[in-house]
Structure 1
Amino acid sequence: MTVATLPAQLAYLNGRFAPLNELQVSVLDRGFLFGDGVYEMIPVYSRCIFRLAEHIRRLGRSLAAVGISNPHSEAEWQQLLTQLMAQQDFADQSLYVQVTRGVAYPRNHAFPQPAVAPTVLAFSDPLELPPASQYQQGVHALTVRDIRWLRCDIKALSLLANVLAKQQAVDARCAEAIMLRDGSLIEGAASNIFLVKDGVLLAPPTGELMLAGITYELVLELAQQYGLPLAVRPLSEAELREADEVWLTSSSKEILPIVKIDDQPVGNGRPGPIYQTMLSVYQSYKATVMRRGEQV
């Protein structure tokens, strides 16, 4: 893809709105040289940004965790991202926000002294959900060893291990790679993972080894609201392989049933009844809350 064929929708870089294909970042930016930065992905439904404040707070926590000064207040972030969203031609969007430590020379692993201004990039793409067939028939996954660092709760740019795991899944014609560490279920390469066993929805707890997704939190809320039996606790690889149902959740996938793992069927190899219930509940919530801009 050349610069001429890059998307031309309006984007934001360091205080300036301009077409995305016109924006440029220095080759000395630490995000380019080290992956030294953090990001957020925020879904937009019918021009309503879903849980914007919650995403902004998570961005702030990631920035604090890696020692990058937050360039904006929560109110400024809300104004910036709302303005960006409003100027797109498409109503359902995926907002991407990235903050790096900034441009510094000479190249040095240590933080630049004195500190430099962070680089702030934001753009929006049309929100493209999986085809209906995947919600109805399910997808396949494979398991991989989790080779990432020990602070996966930070939404950091350094995603090479996730990229390699995801490509391994793609090469195996699977929708996702499920990460296992020391015999425990952690998460997907780009998703959170839920299990169902004997009618109980099971979720691994948040912590430094797992990024707590906004959709993950929403599924827990909906399960509690609708009285679905629920347990949040550490889950083993054996429980994953013996589960009656397995789901993946993310902002871009919402909730998808996994019906085969490592070429072995999950349960009876079809989306299960608890999944069907949660899918219905989730879609109802999306129609009545997400698309109306309510922050419930």
Structure 2
Amino acid sequence: MKEVLFFDGAFVLPQEAKVAVTDIGLIRGYAIFDFLRVQNHVPLFVEDYIARFMRSAELMRLPLAYSAEDLKGLIVELVARNGYSFAGIRLVLSGGISPDNFSVKSGGSLAIIEKVYSPVASEVYQMGAQIISRDYVRSFPEIKTTHYAFAINVLQGLANPAIEELLYTHEGFITECSRSNIFLIKNGVLITPHASILWGVTRKYTLKVAQNILPVEERPVRYAELLQADEVFITSTTKKLLPVVKVDEHSIGNGRPGPLSQQIMAAFDQEERRYTEAFMPNSLSE
């Protein structure tokens, strides 16, 4: 069976999907995307990802000719056609062909792509990850645009391949990482930034399960406070909950993944299992 994707109204082979070179998504980077995981043939938390994708399209003023029900149906069909038990699904909406290479006049191309990917190695979860910081404010942080030039440029230039993520800071405060949200634990309290961030789906469910384990605070977080944390972890679709043991040149806590982080990770895994067991392909939850 050959891998297929959905592109502009049809399921096609990858080589059959073509975007115009005059698409404003290519020329100006005016496009959005979202990404979710498939586990045991189930697109995890698909309703949340669709809602965020549609919200990104609205905020970017990109026409989207599909309803939430349409998108879920297409994703479910794509999973069935490709038959992957474990994979990632990427939704991409471009700005379309622009008459002046700057304005958005018509709907662009919608692609839904499923690919098998390599998860973070298990030893990184066991030993903890390293991240580095840079002063940067992302444009439209609440929108999942395709513009990642700054992060890619910085990470490509690093000599240390062990660096997992780039942390954004500004005026002494942290916001998020290039592809993940960030949490810290101090004195038994879970703390995470609440402004100028992408509202991560994994972040949402982390907060849901964590409130049954320890107090939670969503508020401004200073970089100096992060360095004094007992535990730190990042969350994303592909990383789930990944412990962080080093930020720049500073070790976090005792330099190993902490017990509360691991407890929250276990609770998140249980939340995933509950969703998988209750998944209904033909309905959308509120």
TM-score normalized with structure 2 length? 0.92
Once the two structures are superposed, the pairs formed by residues 121-270 of structure 1 within 5 Å of their partners are: 121-149=111-139, 151-168=140-157, 171=160, 173-205=162-194, 207=195, 209-224=196-211, 226-270=212-256
Q: CA deviation at 1:172?
A: 5.8
Deviating beyond 6 angstroms after TM superposition, the runs of 4 or more aligned structure 1 residues are: none
Paired with 2:161 and 2:121, the residues of 1 have a C-alpha distance of: 19
Work out the CA distance in 1 between the residues paired with 2:220 and 2:39.
33
State the identity %.
26
Would you say the 8 A contact 1:258–1:266 is kept in 2? yes
SS of residue paired to 2:255: coil
User: CA separation of 1:141/1:122 partners in 2, compared to 1, >3 Å: closer, same or farther?
Assistant: same
Equivalent residue, structure 1, for 2:32: 38
Any stretches of 5+ residues in structure 1 without a counterpart?
Answer: 1-7
Q: Which residue of 1 aligns with 2:270?
A: 284
Any conservation in 2 of the 1:202–1:231 contact (CA below 8 Å)? yes
> Residue 12 of structure 1: which of 1, 6, 9 is its match?
6
CA distance in 2 between partners of 1:89 and 1:127 (Å): 14
* TM-score of the two chains, using structure 1 as the length reference: 0.89
Distance 1:269 1:262 in 2: 13
Q: Which of the residues 108, 131, 144 maps onto 1:118?
A: 108
C-alpha displacement of 1:258: 0.5
Deviation at 1:173, TM superposition (A): 3.1
Q: Could you say what the CA RMSD is over the residues aligned between the two structures, in angstroms?
A: 1.9
Cα-to-partner distance string for 1:121-177 (whole Å, 9 max, x where unaligned)? 11101243211111111111111111432x111111122123224435674631111
Q: In structure 2, give the amino acid aligned to 1:223.
A: A
Q: Secondary structure of 2:221's match?
A: coil
Query: Structure 2 unaligned runs (5+)?
Result: none
Rounded to whole Å, the distance in 2 between the matches of 1:20 and 1:50 is: 23
Which amino acid in the other structure matches residue 101 of structure 2? Answer: N
Aligned residues: 281
- Compared with structure 1, are the counterparts of its residues 141 and 169 closer, same or farther at alpha carbon in structure 2 (3 Å cutoff)? farther
Distance in 2, matches of 1:133 and 1:292, equals 31
Q: Partner residue of 1:273? A: 259
Cα distance 1:244–1:96, how it changes in 2: closer, same or farther (>3 A)?
same
Q: Give, as a single letter, the amino acid of the residue that structure 2 aligns with 1:23.
A: A
Letter in 2 for 1:249: T
Deviations 1:235-290 (A, max 9, x none): 00111111111101000000110111112211110001111211221222233433
